[in-house]
Amino acid sequence: MKALVTGISGFVGSHMAEYLLRQGVEVVGTIRNRSRMEHIRHLLKDIRLVECELRDPFSVETLIDDVRPDLIFHLAAQSFVPTSWNSPIDTIHNNVAGQVNIFEAIRRFGLDTKMQIACSSEEYGHVEANEVPIKETNPLRPLSPYAISKVAQDYLGYQYYKSYGLHVIRTRTFNHTGPRRGENFVTSNFAKQIADIEKGKKPPVLHVGNLEAKRDFTDVRDVVRAYWLALEKGEPGEDYNIASGTCCTIAEMLALLLSFSKEKIEVKTDPSRLRPSDVEILLGDYEKFHKRTGWRPEIPFEQTMRDLLDYWRAQ
């Protein structure tokens, strides 16, 4: 069994590769020439890397012809919401064109590859109070260019399944975190600030944006197990929420992190961290996925956040 992981050097990609190797799967991953290798350095002897620009159809066609994977975990993306405000078309081009190129190559070579597409709870966007926990049937009311790019990826998955019978599973994953999470994202950003304060690298002031938003966090190690099950047991063409089924405010998440530290830390709002529009609440219902695959999140949020803080302490 051979799996192709796009974006293997990223946060989720590196955990996905570790999980697949434990299943005895042969792992091939795509990187770009500017990819950082620190998350996968320990795996280099066990995986094969291919340099590929996913936005370039020729590059993707060559990749697919060469690898001919049984499974694809399509994780490569511009995944930071604020970047999509600064450069909307780049996010849309990167996320949408990359996926179309993969689908087109699979279709043209007539492969029966099973593909998992990393869609997002951001697609739900504005959610009414009576719509939580959110089911897959909820209307999509995206609130950022990033969310739009993920809606496009999601519906392209549906369309290529309907039009050509490609084996596509759309996973709508709610927020996820854990060791190696990029420092831009809120959990990692706050954990790194605390670790830097503990090391005396920064004064005891922690900068924050909107603390009122509510998010549903799952551990990345539970998420990659879900992606594996999605291809093993998911129904082609379907969409599945991957979530914990609980949520907390960003303020509560921060309070938990601060409770792990002995430092006295002042919390200060930094207006540059506020967004033109923020999704107020994301709380997912993962029942559909559970019924189909038996998946449930296993790692408690406290453990995830402790592991994340320890990760930054060790950097």
Q: Which residues bind ligand GDD (CB under 6 A)?
A: 79, 81, 120-122, 174-175, 184-186, 189, 208-211, 213, 215, 250, 273, 275, 278, 282
174 or 228: CB nearest ligand GDD:
174
Q: How far is the CB of 237 from ligand GDD (least distance, A)?
A: 21
Q: What is the maximum alpha-carbon separation in the chain? A: 60
216 or 238: CB nearest ligand GDD:
216
Q: How would you classify residue 30: left for phi > 0, otherwise alpha for psi between -120 and 50, otherwise beta?
A: beta
122 or 238: CB nearest ligand GDD:
122
Q: How far is the CB of 278 from ligand GDD (least distance, A)?
A: 5
Q: Which residues of 293-309 are buried (b: 16+ CB within 10 A; e: fewer)?
A: bebebebebeebbebbb
| Peptide bond preceding 297 in cis form (omega within 30 of 0) | no
What is the Cα–Cα distance from 211 to 122, expressed in whole angstroms? 17
Helix (H) or strand (E) run with residue 168 in it: strand 167-173
64 or 240: CB nearest ligand GDD:
240
Q: How far is the CB of 50 from ligand GDD (least distance, A)?
A: 24
107 or 306: CB nearest ligand GDD:
306
Q: How far is the CB of 149 from ligand GDD (least distance, A)?
A: 10
Q: How far is the CB of 241 from ligand GDD (least distance, A)?
A: 11
What is the Cα–Cα distance from 60 to 65, expressed in whole angstroms? 8
Backbone angles phi, psi at 114, to 5 degrees: -90, 130
